[in-house]
Amino acid sequence: MAEIFEQIDDGELPVLTYREQSNKIQQWSFAYTHLIEATKLFNFIFGLQITVMLLSAIAYISIFLYAFTFISVTIFKTKRWALFKICFKLVLNQVEIVFLSKAAQKMQNNVDILKRCLAKLQIYSLQDIEIYRATKDLLRFVSNRPLQIRAFGSIVVDMSLPPTCVMLFTSYTIIALQFNNVL
């Protein structure tokens, strides 16, 4: 094993035999299948919890943003500490959503890197039709069955989630403020 790392450090990759190449591709397919199953299990276990977290975060932020605007418009000078606490809670709530979104986005980025590497491997394996077909099948499998963290239903968790949450709670807060004639 140490010899392989020394060869890689020298800039030379070991040449794999046909059997070793096909075994590697089968191992990658097997590993990716297990990743898909693990992601499905994660989504099944935590999907409802993620959905409840997102809905409660949007409701919580809307209430606090409404309170922040109401306090700042009506009783600004006497409740400065309350405004600071509200802002702090808003930031903490968004940090939780951003952490979850970053983790899900990193997973999707790694799948994209895997697709690019498989496409390069497919190009390099044009000389051997069997390895080419196996690589093509694995690339098709990875493309057709993406790894995604999902909330309950079809809500995909990625980096578009924080701006979506901001848009939703801003809209609901503006509507609530207009109903109470604050704005």
Segments making up each domain of the chain, as ranges? 29-179
For residue 16, what pLDDT is reported?
63
Q: Give 100-131 pLDDT, tens digit per residue.
A: 889 888 988 988 888 888 888 888 888 888 88
Predicted pLDDT of residue 2 = 41
Q: Percentage of the chain surpassing pLDDT 70?
A: 83
- Comparing 5-9, 14-18, 21-25, 179-183, the range with the smallest average pLDDT is 5-9
Is residue 11 scored above 60 in pLDDT? Answer: no
Q: Which of 14-18, 75-79, 93-97 tops mean pLDDT? A: 93-97
Those residues whose C-beta lies under 8 Å from the C-beta of residue 103, and which sit 6 or more positions away, are 149
Are 165 and 61 a contacting pair, CB within 8 Å?
Answer: yes
Mean pLDDT calculated for residue range 154-174 = 81
pTM of the complete model beyond 0.85? no
Q: Residue 6 pLDDT > 80, yes or no?
A: no
Structure tokens at 15: 């040449």
